[in-house]
Amino acid sequence: MVSEVNANPASDQGEPKIRATDVSVFYGEKRAIDNVSIDIHQEHVTAFIGPSGCGKSTFLRTLNRMNDTIGSARVEGLIELDGEDIYRSGMDVVQLRARVGMVFQKPNPFPKSIYENIAYGPKIHGLAQGKAELDAIVERSLHRAGLWDEVKDRLQDSGTALSGGQQQRLCIARAIAVDPEVILMDEPCSALDPIATARIEELIDDLRGRYAIVIVTHSMQQAARVSQRTAFFHLGHLVEYGHTSDIFTNPREKRTQDYITGRYG
Ligand SMILES: Nc1ncnc2c1ncn2[C@@H]1O[C@H](COP(=O)(O)OP(=O)(O)OP(=O)(O)O)[C@@H](O)[C@H]1O
């Protein structure tokens, strides 16, 4: 049975950016997420932690309807972005995914130039009036992602020729280029070395405040370093959600305590 969780430890922060209410996710008959309610706030980095298979990625994907791409997946419950039900019929999913961008575990730049990787989204969303405006978006996005200085002299080189860490920053720049409100990150550092990981963590901190960021991570150290709110999932349940400092120093639930002290996971 799910214990009572505080779904809104940031109630002092005004209206949530995203509110999930009684969300369950099924793959065929199998229930991977069980009745999860949570508020995600604008000014924060929110970390999802929990043992492998607990449903962190599945739940993350419900927040921009990425589960729609998995044939067997079915979502129940309500997910609101600024109060709007994102699963309502008629919702423009392409537009939604621009507002709620995603960065994946493995960097996945398009097999195109660095410039085109960034320019593609703004072009299809009609965000630039002409070449000069597009150039400005590309430069600004690469700046924000902390990549401009490294690539400004080779914007026509292929994005796939960059190092893993640079590719991941390119993917973050690509998400930023369409002016998102929320950025979802699914284990964005798991394919990176410690130096590249540190750069992404610094970047997440720089981006905080401008976007609501949700990060799935296997690393409790990373959650503690980059997030202000942490949600602990176990077997499809949201066991505990709160201020990151409280979750790591003073968890209310025994299952959280056991996980953060390394008893399982
Ligand atoms: N496409 C899919 N089809 C069927 N079952 C799936 C699919 N994706 C995930 N699952 C199942 O749903 C459950 C939750 O998986 P999910 O990947 O969301 O967990 P996770 O906590 O992100 O795991 P990990 O930390 O290992 O990435 C698991 O039992 C998994 O096997």
Average pLDDT on 172-195 reads 94
Sequence-ordered list of residues with C-beta below 8 angstroms from that of 41, at least 6 positions apart, any chain: 10, 13, 14, 16, 17, 212, 229
Q: pLDDT higher for 192 or 8? A: 192
Q: Domain for residue 9, yes or no?
A: yes
Check residue 263 and give its pLDDT. Answer: 78
Model confidence at 157, pLDDT cuts 50, 70, 90, reads very high
Task: Answer yes or no: is pLDDT of 264 > 80.
Answer: no
Predicted pLDDT at 209? 84
Lowest-confidence region among 1-15, 19-33, 68-82, 89-103: 1-15
pLDDT confidence bin for 203, thresholds 50/70/90: very high
For residue 22, with 0-12 CB atoms within 10 Å meaning exposed, 13-18 middle and 19 or more buried, which class applies?
exposed
pLDDT at 255: 95
Residue 14: the pLDDT is 78
Question: 171: Cβ below 6 Å to ligand 1?
Answer: no
Q: Strands, E, within the chain: which ranges?
A: 18-27, 30-40, 45-49, 73-81, 84-85, 100-103, 182-186, 212-216, 229-234, 237-243
The pLDDT value given to residue 3: 41
Of all protein residues, the one whose alpha carbon is nearest to atom 5 of ligand 1 is 27
Q: Which whole number is the average pLDDT over 183-206?
A: 93
Statement: residue 20 has pLDDT above 50? yes
Has residue 237 got a pLDDT over 60? yes
Each residue of 230-250: b (16+ CB within 10 Å) or e? bbbbbbbbbbbbbbbebbbee
Reported ipTM:
0.97
Rounded CA separation 259/240 (Å): 12
Q: For tokens 């509110």, what's the residue?
A: 19
Q: Given this model, what pLDDT does residue 10 score? A: 45
- Mean pLDDT to the nearest integer, 30-53: 96
Give 32 Cα–ligand 1 centroid separation in angstroms: 7
- The residue with greater pLDDT, 7 or 142, is 142
Name the residue of 57, 219, 222, 233 whose CB sits within 8 Å of the most ligand 1 atoms, as the mutation to test its pocket. Answer: 57
Q: Are 249 and 232 in contact (CB under 8 A)?
A: no
User: What's the mean pLDDT in 145-173?
Assistant: 95
**Average pLDDT over every residue of 193-211:** 91
Q: State whether the beta carbon of 220 lies less than 6 angstroms from ligand 1.
A: no
Q: Hunting for tokens 């991977």 — which residue is that?
A: 32
> What pLDDT was estimated at residue 13?
59
Q: How many domains does the chain have?
A: 1
For residue 198, give its domain range: 2-260
The pLDDT confidence band at residue 262, using thresholds 50, 70 and 90, is confident
Structural domain includes residue 265: no
Mean pLDDT (the chain, rounded): 93
Q: For 105-116, what is the mean pLDDT? A: 96
- Does the residue 222 lie in any domain? yes
Q: Which of 27, 102, 235, 259 to mutate to test the pocket of ligand 1 (most atoms within 8 A of CB)?
A: 27
- Residue 100 located in a structural domain: yes
**Would you say residue 160 lies in a domain?**
yes
Residue 125: is its pLDDT beyond 50? Answer: yes
CATH number for the domain including 32? Answer: 3.40.50.300
